[in-house]
Every structure is written in C-alpha cells, then in structure tokens.
Amino acid sequence: MRHETSGEGPNDLQVERGTLYVVATPIGNLGDLSVRARSVLDQVDCIAAEDTRVTRRLFAGGAPRARLTALHAHNEHARLQRIVGELREGASVALVSDAGTPGISDPGSRLVDAAHEAGLPVRVLPGPSSVMAALSICGLDIARFTFCGFLPATRAARRRALSALGAAPGALVFLEAPHRVLESVPDMAEVLGGERRVAIARELTKRFESVHRCRLDAAADWLAGDPDRVRGEFVLVVEADSTPPTGDEALARRLAEALAGELPPARAAGVIARTSGVDREQAWRLALAARSG
C-alpha cells in the first residue's frame, strides 16, 4: 500500500515570523541533524540554546546567522518574558537543547508553555531522542512504557521514587549519569525485582554505542566488570513486571490499613505487594485509599 504525506517538502520550509520552533538536534552523531532542522536554524532570528558552545558545533565551525542566547535550567524562568516579547514583536525563535528533543529531561518546557499561554504559534521539528532510540533498540516489550527521567541522587530518595514506580504498568525508562549508574542499578534490582530484564543502552549514536541486556540483579556486576562500561550517558529500559496478580486481596487490605499511619504510601505498597502477593499497582491503590481514609 502506498502511503502519501501532505505538506511542503523540507527544502520548501519558510520560517514564519513570531513563531517558536522546537528543534530536535543530534544526540551524538552530527549527521542526524535533519535537512528541515538545518533549514530552520539557518533562517530564524534567534536560537535559544541550553549551551551556546555546544550549539555552535552544529554549524561545522562557522558562525550561525541567528543570534544565540543561553536558556538553561538556571535562567529559564528569568529569560521567558524576554523571549516571548521578541516573539510578540515578530522574531522567529528556535529552541534547542544540547542533545535530543528539548523539554525531555532538558530545559525548554517552560518556554513552550509561556508561548502557548501568550497565544503564539509553536512548531515542532521532531528528530533525535535518546529515549526513543533506546526503546527501539532494546528488544523488550514496549507496548506501554513510563518515562522516569533521572532518579534522585541520594539512596533514600531514590528508593522511594522506585517504590512509587513499581506499580507503573509497562516498561520503565530511566536516564542515568556515569558517576551514579553503579549506585542506581542495585537499588532498581532490590526495589523493582532482580528477575526483571534491563537493557543498558550507552553512548547511543556515538562511536562506542552499546546495548547490553541482562537481569537487573546481574546488571551491577556486568557494569563493574570493565571500566569502559561505566563511561558515557545511559538510558536504562527495565521490562514490565510480569508477576501474575495471584495474591490475597483481603490480606492486602488489612496490611494497607495497618500500615497507613506507619509508612508513606510508596513504601507501604512495596510491603503490601511482597507480603500479600497482589500486584504493585493494586497495592499502591490500597495504600493510598487507606492513607486518605
């Protein structure tokens, strides 16, 4: 069957005045910058970049025609009104992050929100995304998935976050930095269940790209087995919990009531699921109901 697309071709795109363009940029290989993205970056009046030094690399050593302005986590709120003001006056602005799609665990979502609230047009130029790249290459069941971003840095907060995510249906997708991955993976195994498989995607689209699949309880040993395995940026895809819900619901309800005043819902849900055998999602609902009632 022939599939046809509508709209102008990539070389026919003319940047519109007063429009914010959300532009995905390469996550490692500069060859992944689309023709359409290049066309927009060459035409806009201003490029709002997470790090202007990184963005300059997209222009192969040349200077971009557009004015570069830094927009990162520490100044995004302060710069919103200035950029929105420029858009109102008819300037065209491209929003880019250091790598991938802006707003996905990167700055930019506040600017997009402000542009919408101001009634300004927002256009997207989709492209590279480490999350989607890892999902497409992991080989696990990803019919449903939850994007979890970066886990908290401290162990206690990280374990609380993982306990809350244990009830989420489908695969879990995490981003992790090289200096923390050896701390995060053992907590994932203990809280989520060591029998679940994980795909460890590293340095996607770069020279040392690799994907390794194993059980969660074997992941820490594999990573520690070679110093090169803990270098670069990570996307971790943890498969869905396949434990059948064959537990004792009556026991689960009693546990939820008993733990309501003793533990926060996330931790209570973990205890309920492990003790009664009900699935984590049901345990989470019971813990919340008991806490509120």
Task: Based on the fold, state whether residues 172 and 111 are members of the same structural domain.
Answer: no
2 is a domain residue: no
Looking up residue 153, the CATH number of its domain turns out to be 3.30.950.10
Looking up residue 77, the CATH number of its domain turns out to be 3.40.1010.10
Task: Based on the fold, state whether residues 63 and 159 are members of the same structural domain.
Answer: no
Predicted confidence (pLDDT) at residue 9 exceeds the cutoff of 70: no
Task: Based on the fold, state whether residues 211 and 265 are members of the same structural domain.
Answer: no
Residue at which a domain ends, from 128, 153, 170: 128
Is this structure's pTM higher than 0.85? no
Domain that holds residue 233: 131-238
For the chain, the three-class secondary structure string (H helix, E strand, C coil) is CCCCCCCCCHHHCCCCCCCEEEECECCCCHHHCCHHHHHHHHHCCEEEECCHHHHHHHHCCCCCCCEEEECCCCCHHHHHHHHHHHHHCCCCEEEECCCECCCCCCCCHHHHHHHHHCCCCEEEECCCCHHHHHHHHHCCCCCCEEEEEECCCCHHHHHHHHHHHCCCCCEEEEEECCCCHHHHHHHHHHHHCCCCEEEEEECCCCCCCEEEEEEHHHHHHHHHCCHHHHCCCEEEEECCCCCCCCCCHHHHHHHHHHHCCCCCHHHHHHHHHHHHCCCHHHHHHHHHHHHHC
Q: Specify the higher pLDDT residue, 2 or 292.
A: 292
69 is a domain residue: yes
Residue pLDDT, tens place only, 167-198: 688 999 999 999 999 999 999 999 999 999 99
Average pLDDT over residues 208-227: 97
The rounded distance, in Å, linking the Cα atoms of 244 and 205 is: 37
Residue pLDDT, tens place only, 141-150: 999 999 999 9
Residue at which a domain ends, from 128, 161, 193: 128
Predicted confidence (pLDDT) at residue 272 exceeds the cutoff of 50: yes
Task: Give me the pLDDT at residue 2, please.
Answer: 41
Average pLDDT over residues 118-134: 97
63 is a domain residue: yes
Predicted confidence (pLDDT) at residue 109 exceeds the cutoff of 70: yes
Indicate the pLDDT class of residue 58, thresholds 50, 70 and 90.
very high
142 is a domain residue: yes
Task: Based on the fold, state whether residues 213 and 230 are members of the same structural domain.
Answer: yes
Average pLDDT over residues 28-45: 95
Q: How many domains does the chain have?
A: 3
